[in-house]
């Protein structure tokens, strides 16, 4: 297999990974907006997907320079601003929707970890590994 073929397949895989991440992120943002009571017309699929794209770009740009100082916090606040104004919510609703869009998939991942036999013993072993 030629190097060009490998690179082409890798690029396609990366594009699919980015698309899947955006779709899942948009779904969890939509779910967060729904749970806090945002009207249906303000949480349509396309609208939420565009919000997710904007937030992803903002967070990506601001985390590139996050090692400089607390610039990443500006990215988080800008994400709240985008949610607030694109979905006509209050500040509290925007922050809660953003938080739920992070919390829900995290809890699902933890539940899957334990469902497939993960345990706290794994964390203890990892702690010992890094000593």
Q: Render pLDDT for 73-103 as a digit per residue (tens, 0 to 9).
A: 888 899 999 999 999 999 999 999 999 999 9
User: How far apart, in whole angstroms, are the C-alpha atoms of residue 52 and residue 82?
Assistant: 9
| pTM greater than 0.85 (yes/no) | no
For residue range 53-64, what is the model confidence (pLDDT) as tens digits?
Answer: 999 998 888 877
- DSSP assignment letter at 5: H
Closest Cα partner for 48 from 30, 34, 31?
30
126: pLDDT strictly greater than 70:
no
Instruction: Provide DSSP, 45-98.
Output: HHHHHHHHHHHHHHHHHHHHTTTTSTHHHHHHHHHHHHHHHHTT--HHHHHHHH
CA distances from 115 to 110, 118, 123 (A): 9, 7, 16
- Computed over every residue of the chain, the mean pLDDT equals 85
Instruction: State the pLDDT at residue 129.
Output: 65
């Amino acid at each position: 297999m030629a190097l060009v073929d490998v690179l082409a397949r890798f690029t396609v895989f990366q594009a699919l990974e980015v698309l899947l991440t955006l779709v899942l992120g948009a779904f969890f943002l939509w779910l967060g907006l729904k749970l806090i009571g945002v009207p249906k017309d303000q949480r349509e699929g396309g609208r939420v997907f565009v919000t997710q794209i904007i937030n992803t770009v903002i967070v990506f740009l601001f985390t590139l320079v996050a090692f400089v100082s607390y610039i990443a916090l500006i990215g988080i606040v800008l994400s709240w601003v985008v949610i607030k104004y694109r979905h006509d919510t209050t500040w509290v609703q925007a922050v809660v929707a953003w938080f739920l869009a992070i919390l829900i998939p995290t809890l699902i991942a933890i539940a899957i970890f334990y469902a497939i036999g993960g345990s706290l013993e794994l964390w203890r072993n990892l702690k010992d590994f890094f000593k």
